[in-house]
Structure 1
Amino acid sequence: MSGNRFFIAPDVFANTEIIFPREISRQIHSVLRLKAGDLVTVLDNEGHCRQVEIREVDARQVIGSAGEIFPAPGEPGVELTLCPALTQREKFEWILQKGTELGVRHFVPIITGRSLIQETGGWNEKIIRWQKIVREAAEQCGRGLVPEISTPLKLADYLNRDERPRGYILHEREQHAGLADSVMRHLSTGNRQIALLVGPEGGFTEDEAGQANSAGLVSVSLGARILRMETAAMAACVICMVVAGELGSFSVAVRS
Structure 2
Amino acid sequence: MTSPLFVFDAERDDVPVNRDELRAGWTITLPPAIKRHAMGAMRLQNGEKLQLSDGRGLRIDCEVADTQNGLVKVSEFTTEEQPITRLALVQALAKTGHDEQAIDMATQIGVDEVVPWQANRSISKWKAGRTDRKWEQTLVAATEQSRRAWKPTLDDCVSSKGVVAICRRACVHHELVIVLHQDATSTWDGIERKVAALEQRCLDDGKPRRVYVVVGPEGGISDDEVEQFTGAGAEVCVLGSNIMRASTAGPVALTLLARALGRFA
Q: Which amino acid aligns with 1:3?
A: S
Assess if the C-alpha contact under 8 Å between 1:41 and 1:49 holds in 2: yes
User: Which aligned segments of 4 or more residues in structure 1 are displaced greater than 4 angstroms?
Assistant: none
Determine the C-alpha separation between the residues in 1 that align with 2:9 and 2:115: 23
Assess if the C-alpha contact under 8 Å between 1:19 and 1:62 holds in 2: yes
Percent identity at matched positions?
22
SS of residue paired to 2:16:
helix
Q: CA deviation at 1:181?
A: 2.5
State yes or no: 1:186 paired with 2:195: yes
- Choose which of 67, 89, 109 in structure 1 pairs with 2:75: 67
Rate the CA distance shift 1:170–1:201 in 2: closer, same or farther, 3 A.
Answer: same
Within a 5 Å distance, the mapping from 1:73-222 to structure 2 comes to 78-119=85-126, 122-161=127-166, 163-164=169-170, 165-175=175-185, 177-189=186-198, 190=200, 191=202, 193-222=210-239
Rate the CA distance shift 1:198–1:92 in 2: closer, same or farther, 3 A.
Answer: same
Output the aligned Cα RMSD: 2.1
Q: Which amino acid aligns with 1:101?
A: Q
Deviates more, 1:134-143 or 1:13-22: 13-22
Instruction: Report the TM-score when normalising by structure 2.
Output: 0.83
**Residue 53 of structure 1 aligns with which residue?**
63
Determine the C-alpha separation between the residues in 1 that align with 2:193 and 2:16: 41
Assess if the C-alpha contact under 8 Å between 1:77 and 1:246 holds in 2: no
Q: CA deviation at 1:142?
A: 1.9
Assess if the C-alpha contact under 8 Å between 1:180 and 1:243 holds in 2: no
Aligned residues: 242
Determine the C-alpha separation between the residues in 2 that align with 1:118 and 1:29: 37
- Choose which of 51, 73, 85 in structure 2 pairs with 1:41: 51
Determine the C-alpha separation between the residues in 1 that align with 2:64 and 2:246: 43
Rate the CA distance shift 1:168–1:3 in 2: closer, same or farther, 3 A.
Answer: same
Q: Which amino acid aligns with 2:157?
A: P
- Choose which of 11, 18, 26 in structure 1 pairs with 2:36: 26
Q: CA deviation at 1:76?
A: 5.3
Assess if the C-alpha contact under 8 Å between 1:7 and 1:42 holds in 2: yes
| Structure 2 gaps, min length 5 | 203-208
Instruction: Report the TM-score when normalising by structure 1.
Output: 0.86
Determine the C-alpha separation between the residues in 2 that align with 1:34 and 1:186: 43
Assess if the C-alpha contact under 8 Å between 1:43 and 1:72 holds in 2: no
| Structure 1 gaps, min length 5 | 249-256
